[in-house]
Structure 1
Amino acid sequence: MTSTPPPNSLHEVVSCMSGYDPDALPVAQAQQIIQQFITPISSIEKVAIREALGRVLAKDIVSGINVPSHDNSAMDGYALRGSDLSVNQTTTLIIKGTAYAGRAFAGIVNTGECIRIMTGAVMPESCDTVIPQEFTLNASTTQVDVPAGKVTAGDNRRLKGEDLAAGKTALLKGKILRPADVGLLASLGVAEVPVQRKLRVAFFSTGDELRSLGETLDAGCVYDSNRYTLHGMLTRLGCDIVDMGVIKDDPASLEAAFRSAAENADAIITSGGVSVGAADYTKQMMAQLGDVAFWSIGMRPGRPMAFGKIHSAGKSAYLFGLPGNPVAVMVTFYFFARNALLRMMGATIPELPLVPAVSLAALRKRPGRTEYQRGIASVASNGQLQVAITGSQGSGILRSMSEANCMVVLPHEQGNVSAGDQVNILLLEGLL
């Protein structure tokens, strides 16, 4: 359902790449090609801010008011003139009244006077300082003593517009709205917000050996786990999801599935059927219906991958053909599909932060490919972050992904790692 085609064909994009080799493609080059080929969707809708969490902001939000709207007190205490404070001795002030949050003091505070004030209450025009009540002495209903050195002029006053001034940009287009952002919108009096429409993603698994939950598990067959991990990852991204189930490995079924997905979704994600020696029709149908590249990426796990665009009945959808092994599906999704889907949503895409940690064991690593090993990060007694591998790193061992709380990212040029060496890890909290 992509409304506008990308500026270039996939062939044109890769033809500009120096040293492009689909049979030995570095991770960084594959990521670059995907980002250049992807075009964001343009449809916008307005939603109530209670429904805006996790949505992508479609326009800048400019504050129409000052927040706070007046100078106010940051403390329960006494509002006074800073010029009345004595540097060397206690200052005694006459209490003229009280200011409450939402109910300002209406009088005038003259030299030598103060008012009792509550947190959030509007500061009287002549007052610029608040002394917390716990710093005062001999307070009565009529006067209070302010010891020298307990407060200086201007302390404990929140300035008008200090949080956000009228006319300033509060939130930028492309931001994925978080709880704090929703609260900020409410503080500005914004009840509805323009957001990108939800990205519609169709996904299915291929393979005659796959069985859905509830079906009999015949000899040589396995339950399809990939659709459930994909469902979870796409839900985390806030996508509108179309689970098309398991598609049998025959041309008619595959063609019907690809055409339906292209006509009804913005993106298609498949698992299985893209390896070099795959004895199925998936790659054939991808090539027949679209502008698709088949890659052998220099990475582990997740070497085979297809990327491009599928066309049907005048509509099109971006395609991410992921490997069939469960861990490879997750790794290729996070390091290729995730950023592409966020770009399609119109989101500002922050880099996934890598954190240094000490490896507790030696790791075998061949230069010339990027490796993503499942790890368990912990904090040592000296406060240093450390990481241990979950065990066997086979791409079919989904249990290792369930046990992991991070991925150890070993870059393309990296060789073997010795115990005690520093490595970079990607914490999975918030991703998984």
Structure 2
Amino acid sequence: MAQLSDDCFAFGGPMMSVDEAVAIIAARVTAVRDIETVDLRNADGRVLAAGVAAPLPLPPFTNSAVDGYAVRSGDLSGDTEQTFPVAGRIQAGASARESIKPGHAVRIFTGAPMPEGADTVFMQEDVRLDEAGRVVLPKGLKAGANVRPAGEDIVAGTTALPAGQRLRPQDVALAAAFGLTQVEVRRRIRVAVFSTGNELASPGAPRGAAQLFDSNRFMLMAMLARLGCEVSDLGILRDDRASLASALKQVAGAHDLILTTGGVSTGEEDHVKAGVESVGTLVLWRMAIKPGRPVAMGIIGGTPFIGLPGNPVASFVTFVHVVRPTVLALAGALQQDLVPMPVRAAFTYKKKIARREYVRVNLRRSADGVLEAVKFPREGAGLLSSLVETDGLVELGEDITKVEPGQTVGFLSYAGLT
């Protein structure tokens, strides 16, 4: 398990920016050391423990990029149509056994190896055959056209996949193109997830008249699963300091991260702060973010602890900016910056300076073809419908104080936030 110092997340400022939070996490969280070997079929989403150097060039041999006719560029006049006899035929997967003869063409297909001496391919759509079966080549084709040189994609020996890469399907494809069947990856991060509060009932259990079914825990577990974590569902912790502290201490040694939702504010019935402090250390961050702000981070027995707000939208947003970078750091993954896509605002909005805000929006295509962001009509941080019925978030930086229709804003799709 991860073993962090008690003051790992200490911060001296009164209000922490989102960028400061991510920087502290990335710099101070230590990756798990356990490494395992997995089959390529199971490698998607895993984090590479070591870089993969190209064991061979890609492509491994010079080949044709099209179906057509291979020739020697030195035989081309460049300023007039020419007719060459066709000597030979090379299919994909076959060997080019003979060198091309001067003044001749070879019929060749996409992916087939170029015959020795040939360096240019005419596309079959651009040529014609005469009555004698000779190929008539148009003028003006540049030397080297329609040929893929060996190593054009990747040179042998170069780092093709870096250590810390969180593997995607295209990365798995690249490893397969090298002939690899397995890769070394960090083991999955183990996360314990609790909800807190007497007002919560677990789905499937009886619900009191003054209770809500717990939704945050299931949202967070789904987001963690998409990050490749092994998740332990530890249910709901009641508003009791002693039992809460006992539960947190018990799971610390078997997990790399403890995640709770609710109970991190400063009210007298918010017991998470006191419970964590009785079995570990805690730093209560006030982040300059809306929705969100109160986020608890600390250490329990060397295991990092994060307490998120209870409102679902605030929990979602702070997960993206606090839990996500923590999980990536624990997994030894390269931090993946969230890059907003520029879109046009179709709403008016005012905000405080020096605070980053996230506005729930839908995208639509306007009459002039430009993508526009349309604000969800209600703003409450407790509205699950505002997450379900929108496409993503507009990110408004700390220096922005208002948004007017027509202004360019940054859009983050929900699909890219895990």
TM-score tier after normalising by the smaller chain length: over 0.9
| CA deviation map 1:341-372 (0-9, x unaligned) | 11111111121012333322221312242221
| CA deviation map 1:57-90 (0-9, x unaligned) | 1111011112222111111111111111122332
Q: Residues of 1 paired with 2:314 and 2:69: CA distance?
A: 63
Q: CA deviation at 1:166?
A: 1.5
Report the residue type matching 1:68 in the other structure: P
| CA deviation map 1:238-263 (0-9, x unaligned) | 11111111122223431232023211
Question: Does the 8 A contact of 2:362 with 2:392 survive in 1?
Answer: yes
Say whether residues 1:338 and 2:321 are aligned partners: no
Distance 1:141 1:199, change over 3 A: farther
Say whether residues 1:381 and 2:367 are aligned partners: yes
Question: Does the 8 A contact of 2:25 with 2:329 survive in 1?
Answer: no
Distance 1:144 1:235, change over 3 A: same
Say whether residues 1:136 and 2:137 are aligned partners: no
Question: Does the 8 A contact of 2:4 with 2:303 survive in 1?
Answer: no
Q: Residues of 2 paired with 1:318 and 1:59: CA distance?
A: 25
Residue from 70, 85, 106 that aligns with 1:79: 70
Q: Residues of 2 paired with 1:224 and 1:62: CA distance?
A: 47
1:350 — aligned with what?
336
Structure 2 runs not aligned, ≥5 long: none
1:15-414 aligned at under 5 Å gives the runs: 17=12, 20-21=13-14, 24-139=15-130, 142-149=133-140, 151-311=141-301, 316-414=302-400
Secondary structure in 2 aligned to 1:218?
coil
Report the residue type matching 1:226 in the other structure: N
Q: Residues of 2 paired with 1:168 and 1:139: CA distance?
A: 47
Question: Does the 8 A contact of 1:276 with 1:304 survive in 2?
Answer: no
Question: Does the 8 A contact of 1:267 with 1:318 survive in 2?
Answer: yes
Q: Residues of 2 paired with 1:100 and 1:262: CA distance?
A: 61
CA RMSD of aligned residues (A): 1.9
Q: CA deviation at 1:278?
A: 4.2
Secondary structure in 1 aligned to 2:23?
helix
Q: CA deviation at 1:139?
A: 4.9
Percent of pairs identical after alignment?
39
| CA deviation map 1:86-126 (0-9, x unaligned) | 22332221222111111123223211112111111111111
> Once structures 1 and 2 are overlaid, which stretch shifts more, 334-343 or 252-261?
252-261
Q: Residues of 1 paired with 2:358 and 2:210: CA distance?
A: 29
Report the residue type matching 1:286 in the other structure: V
Distance 1:68 1:417, change over 3 A: closer
Q: Residues of 2 paired with 1:421 and 1:157: CA distance?
A: 46
Question: Does the 8 A contact of 2:64 with 2:121 survive in 1?
Answer: yes
Q: Residues of 2 paired with 1:293 and 1:109: CA distance?
A: 74
> Once structures 1 and 2 are overlaid, which stretch shifts more, 290-299 or 233-242?
290-299
Question: Does the 8 A contact of 1:10 with 1:291 survive in 2?
Answer: no
Question: Does the 8 A contact of 2:338 with 2:417 survive in 1?
Answer: no
Q: Residues of 2 paired with 1:25 and 1:106: CA distance?
A: 68
Q: CA deviation at 1:141?
A: 7.6
Q: Residues of 2 paired with 1:31 and 1:180: CA distance?
A: 27
> Once structures 1 and 2 are overlaid, which stretch shifts more, 85-94 or 162-171?
85-94
Question: Structure 1 length normalisation: TM-score?
Answer: 0.92
Question: Does the 8 A contact of 1:93 with 1:113 survive in 2?
Answer: yes
Report the residue type matching 1:356 in the other structure: P
Distance 1:126 1:395, change over 3 A: same
Q: Residues of 2 paired with 1:372 and 1:414: CA distance?
A: 12
> Once structures 1 and 2 are overlaid, which stretch shifts more, 192-201 or 280-289?
280-289
Secondary structure in 2 aligned to 1:32?
helix
Q: Residues of 1 paired with 2:129 and 2:342: CA distance?
A: 55
Secondary structure in 2 aligned to 1:386?
strand
Q: CA deviation at 1:198?
A: 0.6
Q: Residues of 2 paired with 1:184 and 1:358: CA distance?
A: 36
Distance 1:252 1:127, change over 3 A: same
Q: CA deviation at 1:184?
A: 0.7
Q: Residues of 2 paired with 1:138 and 1:253: CA distance?
A: 86
Q: CA deviation at 1:392?
A: 1.4
1:10 — aligned with what?
8
Q: Residues of 1 paired with 2:385 and 2:110: CA distance?
A: 52
Q: Which runs of 4+ in 1 moved over 4 A?
A: 139-142
Question: Does the 8 A contact of 1:81 with 1:111 survive in 2?
Answer: yes
Question: Does the 8 A contact of 1:250 with 1:280 survive in 2?
Answer: no
Report the residue type matching 1:33 in the other structure: I
Secondary structure in 2 aligned to 1:292?
strand
Q: CA deviation at 1:216?
A: 1.9
Q: CA deviation at 1:142?
A: 4.8
| CA deviation map 1:181-221 (0-9, x unaligned) | 11111110111111111111111101111001111221110
Q: Residues of 2 paired with 1:91 and 1:140: CA distance?
A: 15
Q: CA deviation at 1:169?
A: 1.3
